Amino acid sequence: MTAPVFVVETSRLTGVSVGDVVRLDGPEGRHAAAVKRLEPGEAVTLADGLGLGADGTVTTVHGKDALDVTVATVRQEPEPAPRIVVVQALPKGDRGELAVETMTEVGVDVVIPWAASRCITQWKGERGAKALAKWRATAREAGKQSRRLRFPEVRELMTTRRLAPLLASASLAAVLHEEGAEPLASASLPDTGDIVLIVGPEGGVSPDELAAFAEAGAKPYRLGPSVLRTSTAGVAAGALLLGRTGRWS
């Protein structure tokens, strides 16, 4: 079984070498010592969530609040190429967190919440801030669970109009749509840059949105013969592209 991942500040890992000791404290240290009940000799991975990590062994446990890790290896995960960016329409209930969790586990790099015209859920004011915080916390925890060193970036909520520059600058921009003439499985993929996938709400992407996306350079693509829910379409498309780009090899 692979070692559990705990998050530390980048400054704790910068310049660390084999044999150095890193203190894991704060909420992560308490979780490791009191909840996971790690003991000396057990393997752990420390990561900053930005691609820098250190594998090591617990050497000392300080009560229920902290522990020391002796570093065995230091790893720097390179920037992904191409990046998989998913523009996710806001689902109902907790399906947004489900989508973020599973996309993180698959390996998606960026998640952008999208206020589509047919979204029932609306993020406004304090409610919107709390929802965004939940998505970000979900990405962090799922990143740890899936043993990632680089966690996905969850950006601020965007409108259709604000998405246009993102789509125009993408190496490939695709709207997942059941009426797409071309399957995503046969689309020509870039080696670098961003592949941006737009996942619509349960009510679908509106004609006006499709027109705006087309003007920005995003074509409609279909995934397969079945219609997926908004909370699973990004996961399926992300997995397909990660396999096709060789990032899973």
Q: What are the Cα distances from residue 122, in Å, to 112, 128, 155, 205, 229?
A: 15, 7, 16, 16, 18
Q: Do 97 and 154 belong to one domain? A: yes
Span 153-168, mean pLDDT? 96
Over the chain, what is the mean pLDDT? Answer: 96
Residue at 104: amino acid letter = T
pLDDT of residue 1: 72
Q: Do 127 and 208 belong to one domain? A: yes
Q: Do 183 and 201 belong to one domain? A: yes
DSSP per-residue string spanning the chain: -PPPEEE--HHHHTT--TT-EEEE-HHHHHIIIIIS---TT-EEEEE-BBSEEEEEEEEEEETTTEEEEEEEEEEEPPPPSSEEEEEEE--STTHHHHHHHHHHHHT--EEEEE--TT-S----HHHHHHHHHHHHHHHHHHHHHTT-SBPPEE---B-HHHHHHHHHH-SEEEEE-TT-SEEGGGS---SSSEEEEEE--TT---HHHHHHHHHTTPEEEE--SSPPPHHHHHHHHHHHHHHHTTTT-
Residue closest to 77 by CA, chosen among 45, 51, 108? 51
Question: Would the pTM of this model clear 0.75, i.e. be above it?
Answer: yes
Q: Do 69 and 105 belong to one domain? A: no
Span 12-39, mean pLDDT? 96
Domain end, chosen from 76, 91, 119, is at: 76
Q: Do 41 and 97 belong to one domain? A: no
Express each pLDDT in 69-123 by its tens digit.
999 999 999 999 999 999 999 999 899 999 999 999 999 999 999 999 999 999 9
Q: Do 67 and 117 belong to one domain? A: no
What total number of domains does the chain contain? 2
pLDDT of residue 165 exceeding 80: yes
pLDDT of residue 180: 83
Least confident span in 26-30, 75-79, 152-156, 225-229: 225-229
Range of the domain at 61: 5-76
Gap between the Cα atoms of 166 and 244, Å rounded: 23
pLDDT of residue 179: 81
Percent of the chain with pLDDT over 90: 94
pLDDT of residue 59 exceeding 90: yes
pLDDT of residue 76: 96
Express each pLDDT in 167-224 by its tens digit.
999 999 999 998 888 999 999 999 999 999 999 999 999 999 999 999 999 999 999 8
Q: Do 101 and 30 belong to one domain? A: no
Domain end, chosen from 13, 43, 76, is at: 76
pLDDT of residue 126: 93
Q: Do 60 and 100 belong to one domain? A: no
Q: Do 60 and 95 belong to one domain? A: no
Q: Do 62 and 90 belong to one domain? A: no
CATH number, position 11 = 2.40.240.20
Q: Do 49 and 139 belong to one domain? A: no
pLDDT band, residue 148 (cuts 50/70/90):
very high
